[in-house]
Amino acid sequence: MFNKFYKTIHNKYSSLFNFIFFLRYLFIIFLISITLFLIIPITFNYDKRENIIQSNLYKNYNLKLSKYEKIKYKAFPIPNLEYKNAIITLESKEINFKAQTLKIYPDIFSIYNYDNFQIKKIILNNSDIKLKTSLLKNLANQLLNQKNKLNFNNLNIEINNESKPIFKIENINYTNYSYKKNIITGKIFKKNFKSKIDSNLQNLSFNFPSSGISATFNLNENLKNDSIIGVFKSKILNTNLKFNFNYDNKKLNIFNAYFRNKDLYFTNESIITLNPFLDINSKFEIKDFNIDALRIIKLKKFLGSKNFIKKINLKNEINYKSKKYTSNLINELNLKTDLAYGRLTFSKKFKISENFFQCKGNINLLEDFPLLFFNCSIASDDKKKLFKEFSVKIREKNKTLNLKVEGNLNILNNKINFKNITLNENYIASKEDLEFFKNTFENIFFNKTFLEILSKESIKKFILEVS
């Protein structure tokens, strides 16, 4: 029965089977032809075609191949020309970078027709770029505005100022085509980030997955202009930050800025000059703060960063006016600081219940044991009202208090020296009195944490001791 069935199928469909078997040979021939078509270019001498390839690379990508170790043709998985240890110069000629491999993917038929050589895409692997801050925008212009297919795998960018590194962005992966178009991933300050740029290059988003940090840039002007104007927004856990900015190659102007979380709320305006030196001029308006947040201050760690401190020129003005019914001790504050070459000068004025306090002084932060020199005064029309703020009861009403104190403070060794103390122009502290005030101050305040030094309880205890 089976034989009868086989004969029926064979007689009826023999022509179809013969055609299928014939296609089998055609497929083998086609496969061999394609394989030979892709493999034969391995035998070509690409050094003779170098000028044509480099000319096309410069024409389409504005990249000049300055130097390389060797060039190799690879047929699979997709035909490409691979340059080893290539030194590449951007069109501006001021930016050079080294790529461990530069892969050029030509049009399939360009392999045999170099008179019409066309590049479909390029891929750069394990690249390193070092550039000045002033050239960062030029790099962004050329790479982000590139219309032809471009892919970076593991790109490292080091930003320098006067040949000194400022920060580094590592392990950058970027492509301007396919489903990953305009998505940038990498590491900054050892933290992974993911960024996305829209097609007109005016909206840029950042996300740091492991840190709960997200940020967006909304640009009002395209990167092709001389300056970048826009709005920055970020959310770091429960902290919100927003500001407008205007950036050119030399200055960053920050305005309409606000910072807010559960412990601190302020507005800010800053001008940051990047060239020729880093100079920061800022003004802060404190709207609200929680004094417990001062626990995070690590003074000794900051003073240990002397190389960082001596590079900064910083001028700050901080203003604060408390809201009604607040529990904060200080009602109003004006603090001005000026840091240059490691020397900090300051001027502070504040008010506690209509009583005026004023301090000025300076400190050299680059010294091994910095001394804070201060000259402070207290002016009160009602001594009783002032002491009441610290829960100290006295009998005299409407009695004035004018206190002036001059001395220095060793902020690392927890030592204080009083040079002069006068009260109401009828009392000048003797040497014995100054020594007594010194010992009392150190015993009460210098066995406390930074936050406890500012507490009403410590101040009350000191007042009672010296009264």
pLDDT at 152: 94
Q: Walk along the chain (467 residues) in steps of 10 and give the mean pLDDT of each run.
A: 52 55 63 66 74 86 87 84 89 80 87 81 92 78 85 90 76 90 87 82 78 78 65 84 84 90 89 80 88 63 75 89 72 90 90 85 88 89 80 76 89 86 86 89 72 62 65
CA-based nearest residue to 44, from 79, 19, 15, 11: 79
Structure tokens at 335: 């603090």
DSSP notation for 119-130: EEEEEEEEEEEE
pLDDT at 8: 54
pLDDT at 84: 92
Q: How many residues would you count in the chain?
A: 467
Hey, what's the torsion of the CAs at 348, 352, 357, 358, to 10 degrees? 10
pLDDT at 296: 55
pLDDT at 22: 54
Per DSSP, which regions of 226-278 are E strands? 228-236, 239-247, 251-260, 264-273
Query: How far apart are the C-alpha atoms of 398 and 404, rounded to whole Å?
Result: 19
Query: How far apart are the C-alpha atoms of 158 and 137, rounded to whole Å?
Result: 14
Query: How far apart are the C-alpha atoms of 361 and 301, rounded to whole Å?
Result: 22
User: CA–CA distance from 268 to each of 18, 131, 245, 259, 308 (Å)?
Assistant: 84, 30, 12, 8, 23
**123, β-bridge pairs:** 103, 151
Query: How far apart are the C-alpha atoms of 306 and 366, rounded to whole Å?
Result: 6
C-alpha torsion sign, points 33, 39, 45, 50: positive
Structure tokens at 407: 């001395």
In terms of phi and psi (left: phi > 0; alpha: psi -120 to 50; beta: otherwise), the region of 430 is beta
CA-based nearest residue to 197, from 212, 213, 175: 175
C-alpha torsion sign, points 199, 200, 203, 205: positive
- Phi then psi for residue 307, to 5 deg, are -65, -35
**Domain coordinates of the chain in residue numbers?**
2-40, 44-189, 295-301+323-467
Cβ neighbour number for residue 38 with a 10 Å cutoff: 17
